[in-house]
Chain A
Amino acid sequence: SQTIHQWPATLVQPVGSPLSLECTVEGTSNPNLYWYRQAAGRGLQLLFYSVGIGQISSEVPQNLSASRPQDRQFILSSKKLLLSDSGFYLCAWSVTGVVSGSSGEQFFGPGTRLTVL
């Protein structure tokens, strides 16, 4: 079966410090991968998605970047954190392309709570 991991679970960082959040998926190959952010009391904002190694699409201009160095690894980074980067970060995966029985559902990791002070 497929599993998705995120770490760290929680992180407290000072303003201006760098950031690296990691997401890995097991049990599937060539997944689509996604990074979302939830600010307090708000819905999900899609930050980045990737359809393959080295292929990253950014949804919103911001202080963050993403990379996919391996098929099942997705990394969210920042060189200098801002207060506004605080939030709950979720990684998700879905099956690539049109696959029999797939309707595009995404499967989410447990999330990382980031607090920038």
Chain B
Amino acid sequence: AQSVTQPDIHITVSEGASLELRCNYSYGATPYLFWYVQSPGQGLQLLLKYFSGDTLVQGIKGFEAEFKRSQSSFNLRKPSVHWSDAAEYFCAVASNQGGKLIFGQGTELSVKP
């Protein structure tokens, strides 16, 4: 069955430090992968997506993610975190059923001044 695992429920980093949020997926074929960000009380915003081509994808707000098929991973990175990056981050894979997305449980990011 298709699934997405985000191993870290909560991560705290200092402002200016680098960030890596982990995402592992289970999917038989070439996956379509996504990262979303959700600020408190808001909807989800698409940060970036991967569906083919270059395995390192660039997104908005200075984020990037690398698709590693051998590790079934799609980790999100940012070289220098800003206080405004504090939010919940969701990894998702497109299901092979009717256009649905399968979401991970999310990682809450806190940023220390």
Q: Which residues of A contact B (CB under 8 A)?
A: 32, 34, 42-44, 46, 49, 51, 57, 88, 90, 92, 94, 96-97, 103-111, 113
Contacts and interface: CB of A to CB of B under 8 A. Distances in A.
Contact of A103 (B42, B94, B100, B105): B94
A44 B103 contact: yes
B98 interface: yes
A49 B100 contact: yes
Contact of B49 (A97, A103, A109, A111): A103
Classify the secondary structure of A's interface with B.
Answer: strand
B46 interface: yes
Contacts of A105: 32, 34, 46, 49, 94, 101
A108 B99 contact: no
Interface in B61-100: 90, 94, 98-100
Contact of B99 (A90, A104, A111): A104
Given A43-B104, A103-B51, A111 B41 contact: yes
A106 B105 contact: no
Contact of A32 (B32, B34, B42, B99): B99
8 contacts: A34-B100, A88-B41, A90-B44, A103-B32, A104-B32, A105-B32, A105-B34, A108-B43
B99 A51 contact: yes
A88 B67 CA distance: 31
B90 A111 contact: no
Nearest to B106: A43
A46 B100 contact: yes
Nearest to B93: A104
A110 B42 contact: yes
A90 B43 contact: yes
Contacts of B2: none
B45 to A, nearest CB: 7
